[in-house]
Structure 1
Amino acid sequence: MEKSCISVFLLLVAVSYALAKNDGKRDTKEVKETKPKLPQTLSRGWGDNLIWTQTYEEALFRAKTSNKPLMIIHHLEDCPHSQALKKVFAEHKEIQKLAEKFVLLNLVYETTDKHLSPDGQYVPRILFIDPSLTVRADITGRYSNRLYAYEPSDISLLYSNMQKALKLLKTEL
């Protein structure tokens, strides 16, 4: 009787273990399917081959020490205007090449620095900061009510504004 009880007990343990193991695999698969896809790099899709900074403070430090202008892109992951601009920005070969000459930061949150929202907090918004840490309020987009906004159709203006930010840096040296 004792041997048969031990045999039944071991059989139950083995079956329980096998069932628990299968359930664990199924749960892991379900978690992977429901988990949102996270960006692979700090680029968040704006240019995976570019070097991006992680924080505003790091970006300011790099701009000052490298003597490069800083380009800050304010956007939201669920904003259709931000997504449309990101797609055009990432696919534009000349912009991607020119962006290598900048310290780059893309933000999906607002900073406490009020200089980064001179005319309001909207997205997408792109601002340039020179190595002296001065926001270049004179480098604007084409909209009078959102001075630093760009749309996909404004990509050539953004490119020329990037060139302007680099030229201003050279004339000030």
Structure 2
Amino acid sequence: MKGSSCKVFGSVFLLACLAGLASCDEDRGKGLGEKYDWHTLEEGLKISETTGKPLMLIIHKSWCGACKAFKPKFAASSEILELSENFVMVNTLDDEEPKDEKYTPDGGYIPRILFLDSEGKVHPELYNVNGNPKYKYFYFDDKSVAETMKAAAKALSPASRGEEL
């Protein structure tokens, strides 16, 4: 009896561990979509520097009503997903928000999206041109995000900077 109890317990433990790993993978998108290749800011900056790809930084909070309304629109957008191939995607939630002033060019509101070059410089000229001029980096829909992503890819690509990969 003891041997079979150990086998049952071991199987249950293994399934619980696997379920835990699956839920961790499912949480990588933090509500913004699981199909993206998400990174932490630290990882993203290193990858961007190595590859020359620009970085797209999304700062949001779990408790924010505007963030909750925005996330499903972002997650469902096939256009944003396709455009994301041109960027190192960084998704910061709650306490992961970077503290440096450069990440709050016109305030600390949320959600906000910033674009950085491969040297880690924030480009304040890349913002939601269809949004509120007081909150330039606030996005309320997928269309405005895609529009700025296109401009950022063009402005920050290695070719536009006269660099070769």
TM-score bracket for this pair, using the shorter chain length: 0.7 to 0.9
Residue by residue over 1:31-85, the C-alpha shift from the partner in whole angstroms, topping out at 9 and shown as x without a partner, is xxxxxx877232112121111113x221111111111110011111121211111
For the aligned residue pairs, the C-alpha RMSD in angstroms reads 1.7
Look up the equivalent residue of 1:53 and give its one-letter code. Answer: H
Please state if 1:130 is matched with 2:117: yes
Alignment TM-score, normalising by the size of structure 1: 0.72
Q: Which has the higher contact order (CA 8 A, sep 6+)?
A: 2
**Equivalent in the alignment of 1:53:** 39
SS at match of 1:73: strand
Residue by residue over 1:142-165, the C-alpha shift from the partner in whole angstroms, topping out at 9 and shown as x without a partner, is 21111100112xx22211110111
Aligned counterparts of 1:107 and 1:115: Cα–Cα separation in 2: 15
**Equivalent in the alignment of 1:75:** 60
Q: 1:39–1:45: 8 Å Cα contact kept in structure 2? A: no
Alignment TM-score, normalising by the size of structure 2: 0.75
Please state if 1:84 is matched with 2:69: yes
Structure number with bigger Rg = 1
User: Identity over aligned residues, as a percent?
Assistant: 32
Residue by residue over 1:111-153, the C-alpha shift from the partner in whole angstroms, topping out at 9 and shown as x without a partner, is 122111111111000000011221110011121111100112x
SS at match of 1:112: coil
Q: 1:53–1:105: 8 Å Cα contact kept in structure 2? A: yes
What does 1:1-173 align with in structure 2 at a 5 Å threshold? 40-54=26-40, 56-108=41-93, 109=95, 110-141=97-128, 142-152=131-141, 155-168=142-155, 169=157, 170-173=159-162
Look up the equivalent residue of 1:112 and give its one-letter code. Answer: K
**Equivalent in the alignment of 2:10:** none
